[in-house]
């Protein structure tokens, strides 16, 4: 979901000019905003590993264990 939202924001920035200058009045530069969104996309991609992706060596592996609960005495 986060990648989709960030991708939409990136596409919106790329659709318009990144730098606009009105001589002597104002300059608007959105290049840093684009770089920031691209850094966020990269960060999300690095953190969002699928559960079935092979893990790197040294990483902790979480295991789910289940067991049946049985009463200690049998009732009649």
Could you tell me the two tokens for 71?
């009463």
pLDDT at position 46: 84
pLDDT digits (tens, 9 = 90+) for 35-70: 999 999 998 888 866 666 565 666 666 778 888 887
pLDDT at position 32: 92
Neighbouring residues of 43: CB distance < 8 A, sequence distance ≥ 6? none
pLDDT at position 76: 66
| pTM exceeds 0.85 for this model | no
**8 Å CB contact between 6 and 40:** yes
Averaged pLDDT score across all residues of the chain: 82
Helices 31-47 and 2-15: angle between axes, nearest 10 degrees? 160
CA of residue 39 relative to chain centroid, distance: 10
How much of the chain, in percent, has pLDDT values that exceed 70? 80
């Amino acid at each position: 979901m986060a990648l989709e939202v960030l991708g939409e924001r990136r596409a919106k920035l790329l659709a318009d000019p990144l730098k606009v200058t009105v001589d002597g009045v104002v300059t608007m530069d959105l290049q840093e905003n684009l770089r920031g969104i691209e850094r966020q996309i990269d960060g999300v991609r690095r953190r969002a590993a699928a559960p079935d992706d092979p893990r790197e060596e040294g990483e902790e592996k979480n295991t789910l264990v289940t067991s049946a609960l049985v009463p200690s005495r049998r009732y009649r």
